[in-house]
C-alpha cells in the first residue's frame, strides 16, 4: 500500500502544483526556464506513475472488498469510457469537441475514474480511482480561478473533430478488444 500511496502523492502532487501554488510554479519557471521545469515535472510524474502501477498491481486482489455492484453496471462503466479517448485527443486537436468540453483531459479523467470506481470495489480501487477523481474535480474547480496556460496543440481546423471522434472511438474499440488485457493484464468483463 505504501508504494501506491507514495506514487499517488508524487503523481497527483506534481499535477497539483498549479492548483495549490501557481505563483510559486511561475517563479520557478521564470528562474530555471520552462524546459527544465517540464523535465523535472515529467521525471517526478513518471516516477509516481510507475509506483502507482506497481503498487496497484501488487495489491489488486489482496485488499478487502468494499462493494459489489450488479453485473450490468459494467455496461454503465463501458458507456462512461466511450468519450474518454475522443476527449483525450480533443486536448491536442482543437475544434468543437474541445470548445464544448472546455478542459477535455479533465473531463476524460473524471469519466475514466468514475467508470473504474463503478466496476471495481476493492479498497485499492477506491484509493486509486477515488483519489484521481477527487484530484480531477479539484483541478477543474481551481481552473476557474487561474489564468489559462497555452498547451501545445495542432492548429484548429474542421477536420480535427472528425479525427477526434473517429480516432477516439477506434482507440476505444482497440482497448475493449485487447488493449486493456495487454496493457493492464485484466481482460474487460462485460455482461
* Alpha helices, H only, the chain: 2-14, 17-20, 22-32, 34-59, 73-81, 84-92, 96-101, 104-119, 123-143, 158-174, 180-184
Q: Is 1 helix (H, G, I), strand (E, B) or coil?
A: coil
pLDDT in the model for residue 150: 73
Residues 6+ apart with CB under 8 A from 51: 3, 4, 6, 7, 10, 11
Residues 6+ apart with CB under 8 A from 54: 3, 7
CA dist., res. 76 & res. 61, Å (int): 23
pLDDT in the model for residue 190: 63
Strand partners, 65: 122
pLDDT in the model for residue 56: 93
Mean pLDDT by 10 residues, the chain (191 residues): 96 93 93 94 96 92 90 91 96 92 95 96 95 96 81 80 96 89 76 57
pLDDT in the model for residue 160: 94
> Burial letters for 132-158: b for 16+ Cβ neighbours within 10 Å, e otherwise?
bbebbeebbeeeeeeeeeeeeeeeeee
CA dist., res. 115 & res. 119, Å (int): 6
pTM for the predicted model, two decimal places: 0.88
Contact 106, 114 (CB under 8 A): no
pLDDT in the model for residue 144: 85
* Pick from 111, 84, 97, 108: nearest CA to 172: 84
Task: Determine how many CB atoms are found less than 10 A away from the CB of residue 121.
Answer: 15
pLDDT in the model for residue 183: 81
Amino acid at each position: 500500500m505504501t508504494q501506491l500511496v507514495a506514487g499517488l502523492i508524487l503523481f497527483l502532487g506534481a499535477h497539483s502544483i498549479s492548483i495549490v501554488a501557481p505563483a510559486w510554479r511561475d517563479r520557478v519557471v521564470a528562474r530555471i526556464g520552462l524546459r527544465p521545469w517540464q523535465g523535472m515535472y515529467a521525471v517526478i510524474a513518471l516516477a509516481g506513475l510507475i509506483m502507482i502501477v506497481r503498487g496497484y498491481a501488487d495489491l489488486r486482489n489482496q485488499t478487502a472488498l468494499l462493494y459489489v455492484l450488479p453485473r450490468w453496471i459494467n455496461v454503465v462503466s463501458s458507456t462512461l469510457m466511450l468519450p474518454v479517448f475522443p476527449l483525450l485527443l480533443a486536448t491536442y486537436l482543437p475544434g468543437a469537441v474541445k470548445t464544448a468540453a472546455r478542459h477535455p483531459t479533465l473531463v476524460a479523467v473524471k469519466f475514466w475514474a468514475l467508470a473504474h470506481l463503478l466496476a471495481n470495489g476493492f479498497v485499492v480501487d477506491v484509493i486509486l480511482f477515488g483519489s484521481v477523481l477527487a484530484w480531477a474535480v479539484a483541478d477543474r474547480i481551481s481552473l476557474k480561478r487561474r489564468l489559462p496556460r497555452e498547451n501545445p496543440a495542432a492548429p484548429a481546423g474542421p477536420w480535427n473533430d472528425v479525427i477526434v471522434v473517429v480516432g477516439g472511438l477506434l482507440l476505444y474499440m482497440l482497448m475493449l478488444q485487447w488493449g486493456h488485457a495487454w496493457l493492464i493484464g485484466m481482460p474487460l468483463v462485460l455482461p
